[in-house]
Structure 1
């Protein structure tokens, strides 16, 4: 039976969703009970930011850069870069991972920010033959989380670069303000489960992955964090962050261009989230994005419901987008259509470490190394 949350726009397209007697979903309940009471963006948040900034500057003395910041060209990372330089006086190395799918808007936004702020930009280009085969393996597997090859490369490359060059602080744009609702696991499985990744590559890959930057959860969650002392700082989690205000500032100060939807800086992610997931699996990622904004007071539920009445993709141009993806992957439109219509598979149809991931998260939370507010 179909049901939708009375507070957010999350619904039973998330098959693991639960509701209380008032019709409020578990996503909203988790936010109100676990996140909101521990989320401090006022004086306490400012004091925490100040303490971390001082450590970054102290540890970065006599170095060319005091931190590294991954810039996708999206709102979160762009605004974080502005704050880091203009408000907090940091000297970040701006790092961009080119997975082969940058939109023109993303290229423009990265360029204007770096140029106006007078910063260095380091771009790591992922081997396209390996990325292409990796992505095709995911299409062939039938699972929904086909954006994993891009996401894994972005995270792994950033951590690997920081470790190689002794940079101890990574600025991360992840934030509660626009991302407090978690993506359903069935559609967005863990991106660092190497058992899962290797199984799908073994079954469907055709190219030797010689240069692709793999990184296991143990490497970047344990080894790099606790042995190499590389720290991730989510600046936007500790101060007020209103997305619409951030967009206006970026447009005014940098001639930054807005995207139609979150994550659309990548042409592949745009295709995947606006078309592939809704059409093949019946799940619209905007439900997660809008619900986060609803819970943090940045969007009304009525406005979200109104937006959801229309598809996220442009029906007049989706055919061109479909052809673009097929052409770039060097497959026919018929082959891509086959992947769209083939029997559905999910992460549990392949080897995975879900139980280990969940157990590890519970242990880290129990001993105080993980909290609902990621610092």
Structure 2
């Protein structure tokens, strides 16, 4: 970690920063920059009269776009059930064999037959491990945004060495990337971590096109991660460009922000397909941790996506305290639906205490972003906004939902894109 100014520690020790809360009176009225009057989110807790929790998982009315059926089952449980119908466990060996043969056939004349984006986390490293076990020839691609922990970097190095996989590292320009991150924080939206996620997707598609590789293996599993609510996490290239234009400076040159025309070109002209390999297996986190530790010397980093210090700051501190978003609910709900945890256990974990954060990581993040504590407070206490306050492709996506549905059915696009954004 870099050195943090002593004044940060002194002020934080006095808890000056925590004297005010973003959540004032329930449903406190504020105004957006646009002048529109809105009501901020407020801390929904079980004793509030309008609070409601899904009867099957632990997602609740802190998710603004949630809805429940007559049995009290939420929208995201129904998305899970649709994904289970598409990837039934009883057919997993047959389906997995078919997709692996398709990947091998498409890449038989290339050095690599697929690309795997690696971050050092459980999901991406196990995807790489599984690809090799299945006889595939992956190229590992690592996007370095300057915030990864030593544990994550070590996990990547050990995995690629032991599995004998070539590693290609794409380095972001750190000043340029921090400007993009600062822009999202100034925009006061709960999507401030998407520059990294979207940059990884852009880099993977660009590398696949450059190398003539037809398949990108994605490490996401709906059985262990679930589907993040669109009101909690939204991303597309137009959204990123609009936020950066309004709150950032300069131009992003160290990687391409993939706009819709690029995605269409990669998908329909270059015929690059994204495969979520973990959807074709019975993926159990505890068992996977044991396998990776035994075979690759993989080490856990202490929390959901905490392999990256910016993500750790964002998910453990900023989201819960500013936006009333606890992303543990998404993962716990997924584990409940897939039978890896009981609903009672998940509720008990949530009610045992709020999302714990490391104060030194928060101070480190503020300092690394180049802000004084006073400058950060100005940003932090801006009224919350959402992707709806910026230009996005979402209206177009919903207008084109039938063609998108067809593209997903033909396996040109991942079906989860239709379920989350277009349905």
User: What's the TM-score once normalised by structure 2's chain length?
Assistant: 0.82
For residues 371 and 386 of structure 2, the distance between their equivalents in structure 1, rounded to whole angstroms, comes to 23
C-alpha change, 1:21 and 1:50, in structure 2 (3 Å) is: closer
Preserved CA contact (<8 Å) 1:322 1:333: no
For residues 38 and 248 of structure 1, the distance between their equivalents in structure 2, rounded to whole angstroms, comes to 28
For residues 386 and 370 of structure 2, the distance between their equivalents in structure 1, rounded to whole angstroms, comes to 25
C-alpha change, 1:352 and 1:118, in structure 2 (3 Å) is: closer
C-alpha change, 1:352 and 1:119, in structure 2 (3 Å) is: closer
For residues 139 and 355 of structure 1, the distance between their equivalents in structure 2, rounded to whole angstroms, comes to 24
Unmatched runs of 5 consecutive residues or more in structure 1: none
Unmatched runs of 5 consecutive residues or more in structure 2: 1-49, 418-423
- Answering whether residue 84 of structure 2 is matched by residue 36 of structure 1, we say yes
Q: After TM superposition, give the deviation of residue 329 of structure 1 in Å.
A: 0.9
Equivalences, count: 365
Secondary structure of the residue aligned to 1:177 is coil
User: What's the TM-score once normalised by structure 1's chain length?
Assistant: 0.92
For 1:133, which of 175, 179, 184 is the aligned residue? 179
Which deviates more, 305-314 or 156-165? 305-314
Preserved CA contact (<8 Å) 2:217 2:277: yes
Q: After TM superposition, give the deviation of residue 296 of structure 1 in Å.
A: 0.7
Residue 166 of structure 1 corresponds to 212
| Cα RMSD, aligned residues only | 2.0
C-alpha change, 1:362 and 1:284, in structure 2 (3 Å) is: farther
Residue 15 of structure 1 corresponds to 64
Secondary structure of the residue aligned to 2:192 is coil
Preserved CA contact (<8 Å) 1:74 1:262: no
> How do 1:95-244 residues align onto structure 2 when only pairs under 5 Å count?
95-180=141-226, 182-189=227-234, 191-194=235-238, 196-220=239-263, 222-244=264-286
For residues 106 and 359 of structure 1, the distance between their equivalents in structure 2, rounded to whole angstroms, comes to 40
Preserved CA contact (<8 Å) 2:237 2:257: no
Q: After TM superposition, give the deviation of residue 373 of structure 1 in Å.
A: 6.1
> How do 1:1-375 residues align onto structure 2 when only pairs under 5 Å count?
1-32=50-81, 34-42=82-90, 44-86=91-133, 88-180=134-226, 182-189=227-234, 191-194=235-238, 196-220=239-263, 222-309=264-351, 310-314=353-357, 318-366=358-406, 368-369=409-410, 372=415
Deviation digits for residues 256-279 of structure 1 (CA, Å, limit 9, x no counterpart)? 111332212211111111111110
Secondary structure of the residue aligned to 1:55 is helix
Deviation digits for residues 265-319 of structure 1 (CA, Å, limit 9, x no counterpart)? 21111111111111000010111111011001111112211221323324xxx32
C-alpha change, 1:30 and 1:16, in structure 2 (3 Å) is: same
For residues 298 and 65 of structure 1, the distance between their equivalents in structure 2, rounded to whole angstroms, comes to 35
Preserved CA contact (<8 Å) 2:274 2:414: no
